[in-house]
Amino acid sequence: MAKAKTFLTAVERRAEELDTIAAVLPMERRDELAELLSDQDVETLKHLVERGMGDNTLRALTSDLAYLEAWGLAATGKALPWPAPEALLLKFVAHHLWDPEKRTADPDHGMPTEVADNLRRQGFLKASGPHAPDTVRRRLASWSTLTKWRGLDGAFASPALKSAIRLAVRAVPRQRRRKSAKAVTGDVLAKLLATCATDSLRDLRDRAILMVAFGSGGRRRSEIAGLRVEQLSVEAPIDVPGGSPLLSLAIHLGRTKTSDGEQDEVVYLTGRPVEALNAWLAAAKIEKGSVFRAIGRWGTVSRRALDPQSINAILKQRAEMAGLEREDFSAHGLRSGYLTEAANRGIPLPEAMEQSRHRSVQQASSYYNNATRRSGRAARLL
């Protein structure tokens, strides 16, 4: 009885510790995390927060750590050891990268049924097949990162582990799935904006979200959800021959997925997106703090920022209202759509990347290739 009381006290203590870093953790699962994670896990996460690790990176690390701890307990009956031995890393690969056809003939191939059922009951496992190779690599990378932050060495670079992953991926080739089935190009964006035609708070907000996200280079949903008034600075209007000057605004991104926040990453808004943003801020009477916020049932504007998933939900809802298939679109479609539209309009790749802030030319150019190959001469030889 005393032992149970001590355990509960330890869980409660970890929950309180997690509260101190609530801003960068999925706190709807705080109690679950408190039971799964060890005291040292929580201390490691707090240390990473203090060192200034990006919010999204820390959320991903926490999610991966919770999964690893749950899997380790289900697969071995013991808490995850630090550092993990090579045999455990190989077991992780074997449980997550397997051949469905071989599983049909050999039930022992892949993740054992009891382990899968355990993880599924806890909400950690949803798919019935093998994991995507990228997911497995990311979780192994998180495992390696957390091991290093504990001051330990792991076997993550071992030839046996690399070989196991390579052979598993080769044995079961998978088609890479896009984050958004379809890109939100200019024509699609016009249909979404047409559903935001009134001066209601919700229409003004959603119109500003769509235009700012697209116009600023296809910003990630986390960047749009976390945008604050303090990141905005008014620029001098841009003269247009024969027309009225265009409003201009700079967005200071700070830390992003591909930057460390030490340099001032800036993107610009010009014209209609600035007008849409100003209209929302004025109607919602927002002068500081979060730019995009929830709207209550009676039209009250919350003081708290929208969460990134809400940006995704808003885009899907607008797609449905526009008569499009909501399953075809996600918030990432704004990012891929921006580069696809830039390619369609003949904007040079380096210029588009300056606005999108892509670091990888290979990644950015893939949108250009997809946009031009279909209509190019090489595809029209017959």
In the block, tokens 């390619």 appear at: 343
Outline where the chain has alpha helix (H).
2-19, 30-36, 39-50, 55-76, 86-96, 100-105, 113-121, 133-149, 159-171, 186-194, 201-215, 221-225, 272-284, 308-321, 332-344, 349-356, 361-373
* Rounded Cα gap, residues 50 and 177, in angstroms: 35
Q: Is the same domain home to 339 and 281?
A: yes
Tell whether 180 is covered by a domain: no
Tell whether 177 is covered by a domain: no
Q: Is the same domain home to 166 and 195?
A: no
Q: What is the CATH number of the domain that holds 232?
A: 1.10.443.10
Tell whether 73 is covered by a domain: yes
* Rounded Cα gap, residues 237 and 274, in angstroms: 11
C-alpha to C-alpha distances, 164 to 65, 158, 160, 170, 367, nearest whole angstrom: 22, 10, 6, 10, 32
- Domain holding 289, by residue range, is 186-378
Helix (H) or strand (E) holding 305: strand 301-305
Q: Is the same domain home to 199 and 344?
A: yes
The DSSP symbol for 254 reads: -
Tell whether 179 is covered by a domain: no
Helix 159-171 with 86-96: angle, nearest 10 deg = 10
Outline where 185-270 has alpha helix (H).
186-194, 201-215, 221-225
Q: Is the same domain home to 317 and 190?
A: yes
Q: Is the same domain home to 30 and 164?
A: yes
* Rounded Cα gap, residues 206 and 277, in angstroms: 10
C-alpha to C-alpha distances, 118 to 26, 122, 132, 216, nearest whole angstrom: 21, 7, 20, 44
Q: Is the same domain home to 206 and 237?
A: yes
Q: Is the same domain home to 80 and 136?
A: yes
Q: How many domains does the chain have?
A: 2
List beta partners, residue 238.
Answer: 246
The DSSP symbol for 154 reads: -
Chain centroid, CA 307 distance in Å: 11
Q: Is the same domain home to 139 and 245?
A: no
Tell whether 345 is covered by a domain: yes
Q: Is the same domain home to 130 and 272?
A: no
- Taking the whole predicted model, whether its pTM rises above 0.75 is answered as no
Q: Is the same domain home to 165 and 138?
A: yes
Tell whether 54 is covered by a domain: yes
Comparing CA positions, the residue from 230, 251, 255, 219 lying closest to residue 58 is: 255
**Digitized pLDDT (tens) for each residue of the chain, 382 residues in all:** 444 444 456 766 666 666 555 544 555 555 666 676 777 777 777 777 666 666 667 777 888 888 999 999 999 999 889 899 999 999 999 999 988 888 888 888 899 999 999 999 988 888 788 888 888 999 999 999 889 888 888 899 999 999 988 888 777 655 555 555 688 988 999 999 999 999 999 999 999 999 999 989 888 888 899 899 999 999 999 888 888 899 999 999 865 455 444 556 888 889 999 999 999 999 999 999 999 999 988 889 998 888 888 999 999 999 999 999 988 888 888 888 888 888 888 777 777 787 878 666 666 666 655 555 555 555 555 5
- Domain end among 115, 136, 171: 171
* Rounded Cα gap, residues 55 and 34, in angstroms: 19
